Amino acid sequence: MTGDDLKRMQDSFLEVPRELLLKHGHMDPTGYVVTLHRHLDRLFESGYAAEFIDPAKCLRDSKDDTIVTLVIDLSMTWKKLYHAVLTVFPQTQGMLPGLLALGAEIEVDDPYKRVMRPFLEAARLDEKDIIAALMRQICDKVAAFASLFYSEAWLCVVEPGKNCDEIPAGLGKDAKSVEVLISVLETHEFARMITVPVLRVPSKKKRDGGKVKGFGELIEKIVVPGDSNKLEERLMRFLKPLGVAS
């Protein structure tokens, strides 16, 4: 599978979140991990990240049946966040199950939420941190040579001479930020980011609350190792650099 093949895959997969946004107004983040089929048996036998990977949804390459693409469901309920944290931070397995059992015993409403919300606040983590850690570990366990990630996001363009620290933390409330559909392809040879502005009918309640009526002009950025320009996005850099041991 060549770099051009991966770019074509990225472009074709982009149609799915477009359709979801037009139909439902929102889409859940989704990851794709490209690897060799021989690396999957150990992953499935271990049950690792079973809540996020459906073996039946694996995509085989039509040109090379040794290559397979895992589809990673990254939609996060409080229950799935609980399982994701247990997966990527195994040290929590000695604490969180006991707290969950206690919450169920005293019959609190939504025990997963009651356990996970204060835990994430105390650990200074959020949903994006957990998603990124999960994707990195899956890529590592199957020796992935490419990954793709699709999500909604708020984009803020930093003007020349402006300090990145001046960017507001909540971009959704920043009038200068733009809602986009983002797609990131990573390989060991290059990274390619695509952003597509999401056009909505104005809403009085939320900036992203109106019906999606279409999309703006696609913007593509490609970087290779050694470039002075870099792609900065929290939900990327999932592949471990070549030569780094697990």
Q: How does pLDDT run across 33-50, given as a tens digit for each residue?
A: 999 988 888 888 888 888
- The C-alpha atoms of residue 199 and residue 208 are separated, in whole angstroms, by 9
Question: Could you tell me the residue ranges of all domains in the chain?
Answer: 3-223
Bridge partner list, 59: 69
- The C-alpha atoms of residue 179 and residue 216 are separated, in whole angstroms, by 10
- The C-alpha atoms of residue 191 and residue 222 are separated, in whole angstroms, by 6
Q: At what angle do helices 111-123 and 96-105 cross, to 10 degrees?
A: 140
CB burial string 192-217: b at 16+ within 10 A, e below: bbbbbebebeeeeeebeebebeeeee
Q: Which of 41-45, 121-125, 184-188, 242-246 has the lowest mean pLDDT?
A: 242-246
Mean pLDDT of 148-168: 72
pLDDT at 215: 95
Per residue in 62-75, pLDDT (tens digit) is 788 889 999 999 99
Is residue 81 over pLDDT 90? yes
Q: How far is CA 150 from CA 180, 184, 188, 225, 244, in A?
A: 11, 7, 19, 22, 26
pLDDT at 99: 87
pLDDT at 203: 80
Contact criterion met (CB below 8 Å) for 76 and 131: yes
- The C-alpha atoms of residue 240 and residue 246 are separated, in whole angstroms, by 8
Mean pLDDT of 203-216: 86
Signed CA dihedral, 124, 120, 27, 87: sign only: positive
Residues 6+ apart with CB under 8 A from 145: 34, 35, 36, 187, 188, 239
Confidence band for 230, pLDDT divided at 50, 70 and 90: low
How many residues would you count in the chain?
A: 246
